[in-house]
Amino acid sequence: MSLKPFGAAALNQPLIGQPGGRSRLETPAAVLDLDIFERNIARLAQTCKRAGIAFRPHAKSHKCAEIARRQMAAGASGICCAKPGELLALFEGGANDLMLSAPIASAAKIDALARAAARGARIGVVVDRLNLVAAYAEAASRHGTRFDVFVDLDTGLRRSGVASAQEAVALACAVTDQASLRYVGVQAYQGRVQHIEGFAARRSANNKANRLLTAMLDVLKQAGLAPGIVSGGGTGSHLLDGQAQVLTEVQPGSYVFMDEAYNPVDIYGAGGPEFGPALRVAVTVVGHSSAGFAITDGGSKSFAPDGPPPRVFLGGALVGRIEWCGDEFGRILPEPGYGTLPIGTVVECTVPHCDPTINLHDFLHVVSEGRLVALWSIEARGRAD
């Protein structure tokens, strides 16, 4: 269910379709360049298709039901979610094939997931302990539904999952014993691999994780529990995972938007990130400091600052970088040859880290060339529950 525009989005709604509307946005505003976004979507889908590997994109990067629908239309096998609240918000927004990629400990949240499944959602969950298997089985049985279940394997991230093949077998056996659960596979996510900048170093780290994973998969197979799906990976490793053919599907997230943290990562071994910066945050110069800097209306409440500083663009030209000067404000450090931008100038900035940045906004302002073409609601914004 799309949200009715409010705040800056409501003020910007009349600009939809108007020439030059992109440069007249009320700000701060999350801006999605539709042309770059569509190229990113298509490129990943084509790469995975050529490699014969499925992709189940991670919605933690976008939290938007419309983007989830477009990923499914591009061939995704489903959509990953980080938290139950995120998953349930996307379900209410119209997304239907959803996987919760982390274990949880709340009976109330498990019950909410089972109720959604009973209403028609296909929901996959991961398990890393026997009592969680039992909790999912009881809730699904009580609501007359069924969960798809992935056994969570730790291949070096040290965050969740079991690290021994014997524990994996025990969990898979427990799942198969429950009529309200369906054992569909395993998950093995190695997040530390994703942002290794050099292609060769990233391949080496990914191979190390795959050796641990392969050993566990061999034991599962010997026990008659060979997983149908082996899920993991991400934006930084999806090409390598397609080449290695250990995973059967990957879980990329940031590729739809990209950010400054991923910008140095040589994803395809060709010297660049391969995906374009589709997500920007538009801000307005609202004043000039006594030191002569342009001050913008976007600070840490508009950008998640856990990454390299944003680059600032005006009409496609790089004019500076943002330096934080408060929760509400930033200052533009100009590129050589550029002076202080006039008050009222609207600029677009790249983002340090796309996942937590999108969590600060309620709507995406979808643009193509110089026009605002749509507003997409970010249904799971703020759903860290």
Amino acid 256: pLDDT? 98
Amino acid 3: pLDDT? 82
Which among 173, 176, 180, 168 is positioned nearest to 230, based on CA atoms? 168
The b/e string for 166-192 (b: 16+ C-beta within 10 A; e otherwise) is ebbbbbbbbbeebebbebbbbbbbbee
Contact (Cβ atoms closer than 8 angstroms) between residue 246 and residue 221: no
> Which amino acid is residue 354, in one-letter code?
C
Q: Hey, what domains does the chain have and what are their CATH numbers?
A: 8-33+274-377 (2.40.37.20), 35-256 (3.20.20.10)
Summarize the confidence of residues 311-337 as an average pLDDT: 96
Summarize the confidence of residues 287-314 as an average pLDDT: 97
Task: Share the mean pLDDT of the chain.
Answer: 97
Summarize the confidence of residues 248-260 as an average pLDDT: 98
Summarize the confidence of residues 331-353 as an average pLDDT: 97
- Comparison of pLDDT for 159 and 64, the residue scoring more: 64
Please write the tens of the pLDDT for every residue from 86-117.
Answer: 999 999 999 999 999 999 999 999 999 999 99
Which among 32, 164, 150, 47 is positioned nearest to 98, based on CA atoms? 150
pLDDT at 1 over 70: no
Take residue 6 and report the two structure tokens written for it. 């409010």
Q: How confident is the model at residue 34 (pLDDT cuts 50, 70, 90)?
A: very high
Amino acid 367: pLDDT? 98
Q: How confident is the model at residue 361 (pLDDT cuts 50, 70, 90)?
A: very high
Amino acid 113: pLDDT? 98
Amino acid 117: pLDDT? 98
Amino acid 218: pLDDT? 98
Amino acid 226: pLDDT? 98
Amino acid 212: pLDDT? 97
Please write the tens of the pLDDT for every residue from 206-240.
Answer: 999 999 999 999 999 999 999 999 999 999 999 99
Amino acid 207: pLDDT? 97
Contact (Cβ atoms closer than 8 angstroms) between residue 36 and residue 278: yes
Amino acid 157: pLDDT? 85
Amino acid 272: pLDDT? 79
Please write the tens of the pLDDT for every residue from 149-166.
Answer: 999 999 988 899 999 999
Contact (Cβ atoms closer than 8 angstroms) between residue 108 and residue 97: no
Among 6-15, 194-203, 255-264, 268-277, the range scoring the smallest mean pLDDT is 268-277
- What is the largest distance, in Å, between two alpha-carbon atoms of the chain? 72
Summarize the confidence of residues 302-328 as an average pLDDT: 96
Which among 311, 307, 257 is positioned nearest to 283, based on CA atoms? 311
- Per DSSP, the three-state class of 31 is strand
Summarize the confidence of residues 365-374 as an average pLDDT: 97
Please write the tens of the pLDDT for every residue from 122-132.
Answer: 999 999 999 99
CA dihedral of residues 352, 353, 358, 361 (deg, nearest 10): -30
Summarize the confidence of residues 291-305 as an average pLDDT: 97
Can you tell me the distance from the alpha carbon of 121 to that of 146, in angstroms, rounded to the nearest whole number? 10
Q: How confident is the model at residue 32 (pLDDT cuts 50, 70, 90)?
A: very high
- Per DSSP, the three-state class of 295 is strand
Can you tell me the distance from the alpha carbon of 50 to that of 273, in angstroms, rounded to the nearest whole number? 19
Q: How confident is the model at residue 375 (pLDDT cuts 50, 70, 90)?
A: very high
